[in-house]
Amino acid sequence: MKLLLLAWRNIRYRWLTQCLTALLILLSVALLWAVKEVRKQSEARFRRNLANIDLVVGATGSPLQLILSSVFHIDAPTGNIPYDEAQKIARIPMVKEVIPLAYGDYASEFRIVGTSYAYPEVYGLQLAAGKPWEKPGEACLGSDAARILGLKVGDHFHGSHGDPEAETGHGEYVVTGIYAPSGSVLDQLILCSIETVWNVHTEGHGENADAEASSHSEDHKNKEITALLIRYRNKMAALQLPRMLNARPGIQAASPAIEINRLSFMLNSGTRALNWVGYALLLLAALGILIQVWMGLEQRRGEFALLRYYGYGGWGIMRLLMLELGLVTAFSWIAGEILGRALLYGFSEELGYGTSYRLDILVWGTEDLLLLALPLALAVLCILLLASKVRRINIAELLKT
Amino acid sequence: MFHSDALKFTYRDGTMLQFPALQLKQKDSLLILGPSGSGKSTWLQLLAGILRPQEGDIRFMDTPFHNLSSAAMDRFRARHIAMVFQEHRFIPSLSAEENLRISLNGIPLDKAHLNTLAERLNLAPLLSKKPGRLSVGERQRLSLLRAFLKKPALVLADEPSSSLDDNNAESMIGLLRSQAEETGAILVVVTHDQRLREKFERRILL
């Protein structure tokens, strides 16, 4: 039977007066945690998906949209570019490697991307089952796509045109391979050859579709791709190539690093504002604690005088107050951590990018303890500020009627 | 056992109070009777070591109060001196028994002693209740139980009967005296209640 039990009983007895403080701490912890994780996880995922891609070439439009759509697969493409233009770019001496991307179809929520074998190689993908695609109509699935669609090697599936929600039946595919998880966006993609995408888009687009498809598979003239990922041969390319490509009509070149820095800056502006809201709530909580302790010292003078009479002394009363506020803070922190995860889950779902960029709510770090330490330190500070008032509590209070 | 010099205490406003010397031994009972403003509460606070006199000293169980720091005085008082207040205050969030236990603050609980006192004061079935749910009379008795549970050597009672009717006042003083007698404690009652005048053989009128 000691001060901890007394503190617990006092919290239960005066739960209503603790509510406001608890609520403010809870909200500030939840907000600060959720904002921290959104920033941290988003940046980490963006950086991981860059995979040493130096430049992206696509149709003119927003450079950020081009990067988001072709590197991170979370936006619609800006348009298409001629394939022969992509071939010309590949022949520029400053270019070490090019990876063509052609897309527009989905299988459920997963994008079907026509590309070359270099694409999975750049991301270090290994086949966990089956073999790479070879002929048109064959596809390899990222680990998440295979798991969620429930597909295995040898299975057939249909795509849907232009929109994950659109009706299926746009092209038939056979699964030839499934990749092992890589932690990159490719886990949520379905990869096939560029010819597969071209064939699917020529089928049913006219009476001469078959003839068109066969003639174009031999000759790529007039064919289009969505984007071209480029890796530089040397550092000089970073200075010259973007300017050179941006001078060409109908195409744009965008650097993923620059666009991601720009995106991070925008994201940070938003998160900084939310962080300030979180700290403001914490400050309000501290003010609430100060008022609560101050008023408590007035309203509970008899109780504290009794504790002095029992021999607990001024330090004993301060320990009791610290335990009471410590318990309230600890419970609020736990509730705040849970609410923070709920907020993160809600935000992640609200983004609507499916599994590609779903934020992980089951994460834990030492920073979480800082979110406990901060309000605890504020609570202790408030009590220390009122220490002289606590010391003045006298047993003589008990003699007053 | 309890020795107090002629004590002198001056308030900040210059009011000076003087009190006669006291010599009390085990099982002694003393009534200090005086009207409001006569300084009896100040004297009680001096005897309890809550206030320090400007002149004179108190020695109890061979311990001179003037040598003790404030914290040491708190510990000494908590261990050896019990007080019964006019208002029977308890910690409202705790049950009656928990209030008794926390009042011991490290003094080992003598469970048999607690049971005996609880039985004698008719409190045994009420110990699980919160003080707020007890009647005034039950709280008085709980207050006495708290005072005698730690087996104090000195019991100081401040206006223990002032707010009580004749029957309850009689009962309260009877219990105080009998418990002090049984435990061998010195009992000092400070009051303006003239009804107690005849209850004590030894008394000081202020």
- Using one digit for the tens of pLDDT, what is the confidence trace for B189-204? 999 988 888 888 899 9
Mean pLDDT of chain B: 90
Q: Which residues of A touch B45 (CB under 8 A)?
A: 396, 399
DSSP-assigned letters across all residues of chain B: -EEE--EEEE-TTS-EEEE--EEE-TT-EEEEE--TTSSHHHHHHHHTTSS--SB--EEETTEEGGGS-HHHHHHHHHHHEEEE-SS----TTS-HHHHHHHHHTTSPP-HHHHHHHHHHTT-GGGTTS-GGGS-HHHHHHHHHHHHHHT--SEEEEESTTTTS-HHHHHHHHHHHHHHHHHHT-EEEEEE--GGGGGG-SSEEE-
Nearest-CB residue to B50 (from A5, A312, A396): A396
% pLDDT > 90, chain A? 50
What is the structure's pLDDT at A161?
Answer: 77
Q: Which residues of A touch B79 (CB under 8 A)?
A: 311
Beta pairing, strands B203-205 & B29-33? parallel
Instruction: Find which of A18, A306, A318 to mutate to test the B interface (most B CBs within 10 Å of its CB).
Output: A306
Q: Which residues of B touch A310 (CB under 8 A)?
A: 78, 102-105
Beta pairing, strands A110-115 & A168-179? unpaired
- Using one digit for the tens of pLDDT, what is the confidence trace for A179-231? 999 888 899 999 999 999 998 877 644 444 444 444 444 555 678 999 999 99
- Using one digit for the tens of pLDDT, what is the confidence trace for B109-149? 999 999 999 998 889 999 999 999 999 889 988 998 999 99
What are the backbone angles phi and psi of residue A314, rounded to the nearest 5°? -65, -40
Q: What angle do CA B166, B171, B173 make, to 5 degrees?
A: 95
Q: CA-to-CA distance for B128 and B130, rounded, in angstroms?
A: 7
- Using one digit for the tens of pLDDT, what is the confidence trace for A369-387? 999 999 999 989 988 988 8
Instruction: Find which of B9, B44, B79, B85 to mutate to test the A interface (most A CBs within 10 Å of its CB).
Output: B85
Instruction: Find which of B11, B94, B100, B156 to mutate to test the A interface (most A CBs within 10 Å of its CB).
Output: B94
The H or E element containing residue A237 is helix A235-246
Residue A296 burial (10 A CB sphere; 0-12, 13-18, 19+): buried
What are A291's two structure tokens?
């008022």
What is the structure's pLDDT at A363?
Answer: 87
Q: CA-to-CA distance for A323 and A12, rounded, in angstroms?
A: 13
- State yes or no: pLDDT of B6 exceeds 80: yes
92-131 in chain B: CB under 8 A from chain A: 92-94, 98, 101-106
Residue of B nearest to A9 (CA): B93
Confidence at A294, pLDDT banded by 50, 70, 90: confident
Interchain CB distance below 8 Å, B102 and A399: no
What is the structure's pLDDT at A166?
Answer: 61
List beta partners, residue A138: A174
pTM: 0.75
What is the structure's pLDDT at A113?
Answer: 96
What is the structure's pLDDT at A202?
Answer: 73
What are the backbone angles phi and psi of residue A93, rounded to the nearest 5°? -60, -30
Mean pLDDT of chain A: 87
Interchain CB distance below 8 Å, B158 and A399: yes
Confidence at A340, pLDDT banded by 50, 70, 90: very high
A156-162 average pLDDT score = 85
% pLDDT > 70, chain B? 100
**Residue among B34, B35, B58, B33 at smallest CA distance from B45:** B58
- State yes or no: pLDDT of A298 exceeds 90: no
Q: Who has greater pLDDT, A354 or B42?
A: B42
Residue B178 CB neighbours (<10 A): 12
